[in-house]
C-alpha cells in the first residue's frame, strides 16, 4: 500500500512539472516573423548600413499646368502617399501665376511635402513662368541637397544610409543667357559624372537621374538632351533616367553600350543596344529610360513609324491609349519596382522591376 502511494505521489509530481513546463513554453516568444515582402513579393535582404525595411517611395511626372488634368494627377499622388515627388519641369505654362501653381500643389499635398523641382523649358527663361519664383514658393525639402536647387542638384534619400541618389540636371534647356553647357568634359558634364561615380563609391544602391528633356522619344521632339550626354548616362549604368517635355508616356527596355553597341544614335535603332527586353531586369546590365510628360496638360501623338520604337517596351499618347498620370516607384536595398498609375478616367498600366545582383 505504501509503495502504491509513493507511485501515485511520483505520478502527481511528474504531472505537475509537465503542466508547469507547458505553461512556461506557451509564455515564451515564438520565432521572429519573416520580413514583409517587397512590392513585387521578394524579400528585402540587408546591405551594409541599410535596414531591411528601408524603402524610398517616390513619384515623378512633368508637364503639369494648372487645369483639371493637373489636379487629377495630384490627387493620384496624394493617394499614393510617397515620401517625395520629382516634378520634371514645365509647371504653370503662364507667367505671373507661379504662386497659383504652388498653392495648387500645396493644397493637394501639404506645405511640408517634398515636391522637388527641376526646370523645364517653359520657366527656364521666364517666358511662361520663372523657375526662381517656383523655387521660392516650392523650396527644397530634402536635407543635404548639393548644387543649385531647381537647375542642377543631387540629394541622397534617406540622408543617412541612403537607398537612392537623385541627380537632377538641365541639359538642352535655354536660360536667359542661353543653354547650359553639358558637352563632354564641361564643368556640368564633370559635375554629373562625379555625382554618379560618388553614389557608386558610397555604395548607394540606386542612382536615378531626372531632367526635363529626353533624347529618344516617340513623340514630337528629337534628342534635345544631347547624344553624348545620354550615352554617358548609359555608359555609367545609371539605373533609371526620368524626363518629361514630350507629352507622352514611354518606357524603354534596358539599354546598354559595349562591344556590339558603341553608342545609341538618335532617329535609328540597333538591337545590339538592347540589354534586356523583359519587365524584370538586373542592375548593372543597362539603363531604363522613362518619359512621364503626362502630368496634366494636353497629350501629343505617338509616331508609330518612329525608328526608335524598337527601344521601347510601353508607350501612350493622344492617339494610342491616352493617359495622364504618374510614375510610382519603390526602392529598397535589393529591388526597384515601378508602375504607371493613371489619373481618374484613364486605364493605362505599366510596370517594371530592377533587381540588384
Residue 53's pLDDT band (boundaries 50, 70, 90)? confident
Is residue 46 domain-resident? no
Check pLDDT > 90 for residue 30. Answer: no
293 bridge partner residues: none
In this prediction, residues 47-53 reach a mean pLDDT of 54
Which pLDDT score, from 0 to 100, does residue 357 have?
85
In this prediction, residues 319-345 reach a mean pLDDT of 98
User: What number of residues does the chain have?
Assistant: 357
State the residue for C-alpha cell 520604337. Answer: 309
Tens digits of residue pLDDT in 253-266 = 999 999 999 999 99
Return the closest-CA partner of residue 139 out of 105, 173, 164, 182. Answer: 105
Is residue 26 domain-resident? no
CA dist list (Å): 252 to 112, 255, 289 = 33, 8, 5
174 lies in which domain range?
Answer: 54-355
Domain count along the chain = 1
Which pLDDT score, from 0 to 100, does residue 48 have?
44
Provide the whole-model pTM: 0.86
Could you give the percent of the chain with pLDDT greater than 70?
85
Is residue 324 domain-resident? yes
Residue 288's pLDDT band (boundaries 50, 70, 90)? very high
Is residue 2 domain-resident? no
In this prediction, residues 229-247 reach a mean pLDDT of 98
Is residue 251 domain-resident? yes
In this prediction, residues 185-201 reach a mean pLDDT of 98
Check pLDDT > 80 for residue 278. Answer: yes
The grid cell for 55 is: 524603402
Give kind and range of the element (H or E) at residue 273: none
- In angstroms, rounded to a whole number, what is the distance separating the alpha carbons of residues 293 and 89? 9
151 bridge partner residues: none
Of 14-18, 56-60, 166-170, 342-346, least confident by mean pLDDT is: 14-18
- In angstroms, rounded to a whole number, what is the distance separating the alpha carbons of residues 211 and 83? 20
Residues 60, 166 contacting (CB under 8 angstroms): no
Is residue 14 domain-resident? no
The full DSSP string for 203-240 is T-SEEEEE-S--SS-SSS---TT-HHHHHHHHHTT-SE
In this prediction, residues 317-340 reach a mean pLDDT of 98
- CATH of residue 267's domain is 3.60.21.10
Which pLDDT score, from 0 to 100, does residue 50 have?
56
Tens digits of residue pLDDT in 130-157 = 999 999 999 999 999 999 999 999 999 9
Residue 294's pLDDT band (boundaries 50, 70, 90)? very high
Is residue 233 domain-resident? yes
Which pLDDT score, from 0 to 100, does residue 77 have?
98
The sign of the dihedral angle between the CA atoms of 279, 280, 282, 283 is positive
Residues 84, 58 contacting (CB under 8 angstroms): yes
Check pLDDT > 60 for residue 41. Answer: no
In this prediction, residues 45-71 reach a mean pLDDT of 82
User: Would you tell me how many other CB atoms lie within 10 Å of the CB of residue 345?
Assistant: 10
Which pLDDT score, from 0 to 100, does residue 49 have?
53
Is residue 49 domain-resident? no
Amino acid at each position: 500500500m505504501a509503495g502504491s502511494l509513493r507511485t501515485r505521489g511520483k505520478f502527481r509530481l511528474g504531472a505537475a512539472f509537465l503542466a508547469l513546463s507547458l505553461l512556461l513554453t506557451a509564455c515564451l516568444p515564438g520565432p521572429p516573423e519573416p520580413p514583409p515582402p517587397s512590392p513585387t513579393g521578394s524579400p528585402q535582404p540587408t546591405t551594409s548600413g541599410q535596414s531591411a525595411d528601408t524603402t524610398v517611395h517616390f513619384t515623378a511626372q512633368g508637364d503639369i499646368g494648372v487645369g483639371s488634368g493637373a489636379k487629377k494627377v495630384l490627387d493620384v499622388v496624394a493617394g499614393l502617399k510617397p515620401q517625395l515627388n520629382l516634378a520634371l519641369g514645365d509647371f504653370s505654362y503662364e507667367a505671373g501665376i507661379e504662386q497659383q501653381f504652388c498653392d495648387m500643389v500645396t493644397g493637394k499635398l501639404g506645405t511640408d511635402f517634398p515636391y522637388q523641382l527641376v526646370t523645364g523649358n517653359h520657366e527656364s527663361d521666364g517666358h511662361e513662368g520663372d523657375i526662381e519664383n517656383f523655387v521660392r514658393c516650392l523650396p527644397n525639402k530634402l536635407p543635404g541637397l548639393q548644387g543649385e536647387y531647381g537647375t542642377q542638384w543631387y540629394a541622397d534619400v534617406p540622408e543617412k544610409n541612403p537607398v537612392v541618389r537623385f541627380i537632377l540636371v538641365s541639359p538642352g534647356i535655354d536660360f536667359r543667357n542661353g543653354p547650359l553647357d553639358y558637352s563632354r568634359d564641361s564643368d556640368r558634364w564633370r559635375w554629373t559624372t562625379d555625382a554618379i561615380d560618388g553614389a557608386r563609391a558610397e555604395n548607394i544602391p540606386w542612382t536615378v537621374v531626372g531632367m526635363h528633356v529626353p533624347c529618344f522619344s516617340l513623340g514630337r521632339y528629337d534628342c534635345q538632351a544631347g547624344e553624348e550626354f545620354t550615352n554617358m548616362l548609359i555608359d555609367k549604368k545609371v539605373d533609371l533616367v526620368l524626363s518629361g517635355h514630350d507629352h507622352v508616356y514611354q518606357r524603354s527596355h534596358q539599354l546598354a553600350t559595349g562591344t556590339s553597341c558603341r553608342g545609341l544614335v538618335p532617329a535609328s535603332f540597333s538591337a545590339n543596344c538592347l540589354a534586356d527586353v523583359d519587365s524584370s531586369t538586373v542592375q548593372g546590365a543597362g539603363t531604363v529610360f522613362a518619359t512621364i510628360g503626362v502630368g496634366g496638360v494636353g497629350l501629343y501623338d505617338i509616331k508609330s513609324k518612329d525608328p526608335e520604337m524598337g527601344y521601347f517596351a510601353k508607350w501612350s499618347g493622344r492617339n494610342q491609349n491616352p493617359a495622364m498620370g504618374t510614375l510610382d516607384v519603390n526602392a529598397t536595398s535589393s529591388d526597384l519596382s515601378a508602375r504607371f498609375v493613371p489619373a481618374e478616367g484613364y486605364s493605362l498600366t505599366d510596370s517594371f522591376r530592377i533587381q540588384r545582383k
